[in-house]
Amino acid sequence: MIMRSTQSGVGLIEVMVALLLLAVAVLGFSAMQMTAIKATDESLMRTRALTIMRGGAEAIRTNPTGIAAFKTAINGTTDTVTIDGKGITKVSCVQTTSTVPTETASCNINQLATRDGLLMKSYAAENDINIGVVPNGCPGTSGNQERQCFVASWGDTTVALNDTAADACANANGTYKNGAECFIMEAY
C-alpha cells in the first residue's frame, strides 16, 4: 500500500515564516544595539565635559581674583587675548612650581587666569566640546559667595542659556531643554 502525502509545499511556508520571525528579531536586536551605542557615546561626552569643567573649577578656586579674566578668555572667540598690554595665548606665562598662581615677571594674576581659560577652551575643543561660563553667575542662586556656572555642550547644542534659541542648552532659568546635549556645573 502506497500512501500519498497531501502536505506538498507546507514545509516551504514554515521555512518562510521562520525566516520572517528571525528577520524581525535581528532588526530588533540591531535597533537595541544602536541605542546602546548612542547611550555610550553620550556618557563618554558627559564624562569628558565633567572632567574639563572640574579643571576649570579648580582653576578659578586657585585664582579667585582672576575670575573675570578667566570668564573673558573662555567665553571669547579668539585664541589670543590682550591683558594689561600683553597678548596671552594658551601657552603664555611661565608656570611656577607653586600650586597657587602668583604674579611673576612674565605674567600677572589676570594674565595667568586668561591663559588658564584659553587652555581649558582649547582642550575642550580638541574633545569636540564647546565650553563657556555664564557671564552673570548661575541662574537662581544668591548668597555671599558668587557661584559660577560652567556650561559644556556638544553636537548641535550651544552653551547658551536662552529661552528662545532652539539649540540652546537650557532656558534662562537653567532648566535643560528637551534633546539638548549639554552639561551644566555650578562651581564656587
**Contact predicate 28/122, CB 8 Å:** no
Q: With respect to residue 37, please indicate whether it lies within any of the assigned structural domains.
A: no
Q: With respect to residue 35, please indicate whether it lies within any of the assigned structural domains.
A: no
| pTM for the structure as a whole | 0.74
Cell of 57: 573649577
Tell whether the model's pLDDT for residue 1 goes beyond 70.
no
Range of the domain at 141: 46-187
Q: With respect to residue 67, please indicate whether it lies within any of the assigned structural domains.
A: yes
pLDDT at residue number 71:
92
Tell whether the model's pLDDT for residue 139 goes beyond 90.
no
Q: With respect to residue 51, please indicate whether it lies within any of the assigned structural domains.
A: yes
- What percentage of residues in the chain have a pLDDT greater than 90? 41
pLDDT at residue number 157:
92
Q: What is the pLDDT of residues 85-138, one digit of tens each?
A: 888 888 888 655 656 655 555 788 888 899 999 999 999 999 999 999 988 778
Question: What residues contact 122, with CB distance under 8 A and at least 6 apart?
Answer: 79, 90
Q: What is the pLDDT of residues 78-89, one digit of tens each?
A: 888 888 788 888
Q: With respect to residue 163, please indicate whether it lies within any of the assigned structural domains.
A: yes
Q: What is the largest CA-CA distance in the chain?
A: 112
Rounded to whole angstroms, the Cα distance separating 188 from 186 reads 7
DSSP β-ladder status, 182-187 and 168-170: unpaired
Q: How many domains does the chain have?
A: 1
Q: With respect to residue 119, please indicate whether it lies within any of the assigned structural domains.
A: yes
Which of 63, 140, 75, 148 has its CA nearest to residue 108? 63
